[in-house]
Amino acid sequence: LEIYLRGLAGERPELPVTYDELEVAARGAMTAEAFAYVAGGAGSERTLRANRAAFDRWRLVPRMLRSVTDRELSTEVLGTPMAAPVLLAPVGTASVIHPDAERAQARAAADLGLASVLSTAASTSMEEVAAAAPEANRWFQLYWPNDPELAESLVRRAERAGYRAIVVTVDTWTMAWRPRDLALGHLPFLHGHGLANYFSDPVFRSRLAAPPESGPEARRAAILAFTGLFGNPSLSWSDLATLRSWTTLPVLVKGVCHPDDARAALDAGADGVVVSNHGGRQVDGARAALDCLVDVADAVAARGPVLFDSGIRSGADVLVALALGADAVLVGRLWAFGLALAGHRGVVHAMRALLAELDLTMALAGYRSPADLDRRALAFER
Ligand code: FNR
């Protein structure tokens, strides 16, 4: 209605309302390097495309005359209330996109009552983000470094700073083969983006000969130290117990594709899983995340929440994922493109458009709340 009323007054929406147009506009607002980093995927980008193609095979079958005046999008996941089952996914090194970076992410989440997941590889420290959006429902995403004391320090800081869950990402102990980044010779970390949680960490700082801010050489050494500590390929499921011992917060495992891994995560003490192939950025040729969701949701049954991401572009996509068994979804590139276009305002805009389409499509399809949705809402088209 807001958009139509503005149209009546001769105003067009200031920013695009579809993902594809947001992406085109964002491309014009970003450096070629930043755009390649955000939009790109691993290898030949087969999985990036498969994530989208999977959504095209599921169709909603709308139901009529079901009294949909009173609708409810709000939900709660592991004790965190959310105005809608949509979270802002962790997107690292956001200062390469816009200087507002992760502050804009958390502020937008606070404005809309959504939950927001801050990346370990953020350009703003978790304490600064907490101070910028104290009322936001914030979760912290852990890239588990190969220094156990540093890993513990990051988790304990997140709990102290008011983050309400730990999302441990298990699919990215190193960056994948990403030709777009390789072609441009650009990795945001090497240019100093995404290091705030490390540079502000007492354990990390204790590993350095000199503080990163003491001069260009020290900064360079700190960046190199970061690259040496970033990932941990030796982790196994039994390590989740160690993570549990560091925090009383709920723990979710992000990057689960196989149903056996979902079972392993829960058996190892995780409270929930995030079905995700990192937006097609890690294993090229991996199965579409949406296709994995069906099997994972069946394997998890009612043992814990199943969240989903990778390929959500619209409110209708959110509905499909919810109907296939997701308790909530995360979106990454969508908010990142909003950020590129207009900082905090752009993130709010992109998320509001998604939520408006979700609400409208849900109602027009005959559902009053996400809880009413199940696979009977869908038909599979070969
Ligand atoms: C990501 N993603 C990500 N995930 C994570 O756990 N930690 C991180 O730091 C990042 N960083 C990151 C940067 C950029 C530029 C993108 C696009 C993505 C993955 C992200 O959380 C999410 O899984 C995907 O973005 C979901 O796919 P869509 O919504 O982008 O299709």
> Cβ(351)–Cβ(111) under 8 Å?
no
- Could you tell me which of 259, 285, 254 has the C-alpha nearest to residue 270? 254
State the closest ligand 1 atom to the C-alpha of 279, by its place in the atom list counted from 1: 27
Catalytic-labelled residue, pool 98, 193, 278, 344: 278
The tens digit of pLDDT for each residue in 137-196 reads 999 999 999 999 999 999 999 999 999 999 999 999 999 999 999 999 888 988 889 999
Report the complex ipTM. 1.00
What is the Cα–Cα distance from 138 to 122, expressed in whole angstroms? 13
CA of 357 to the centre of ligand 1 (A): 22
Q: At what angle do helices 101-112 and 333-364 cross, to 10 degrees?
A: 20
**What is the block-wise mean pLDDT of the chain (382 residues), using blocks of 10 residues?**
88 92 98 97 98 98 98 98 98 97 98 98 98 98 98 98 98 95 90 96 98 97 96 97 98 98 98 98 98 98 97 98 98 98 98 98 98 97 90
For residue 7, what pLDDT is reported?
86
For residue 382, what pLDDT is reported?
86
pTM above the 0.95 mark? yes
For residue 145, what pLDDT is reported?
98
Q: Is 119 helix (H, G, I), strand (E, B) or coil?
A: coil
Q: How far is CA 290 from the centre of its chain?
A: 15
Residue 269 buriedness (CB in 10 A; 0-12 / 13-18 / 19+): middle
Q: Is the CB of 145 under 6 A from ligand 1?
A: no
Query: Considering the chain, what percentage of its residues have pLDDT values greater than 70?
Result: 100
For residue 2, what pLDDT is reported?
86
The tens digit of pLDDT for each residue in 88-99 reads 999 999 999 999
Degrees to nearest 5, angle at CA 31 with 221 and 341: 115
Is 191 annotated in the active site? no
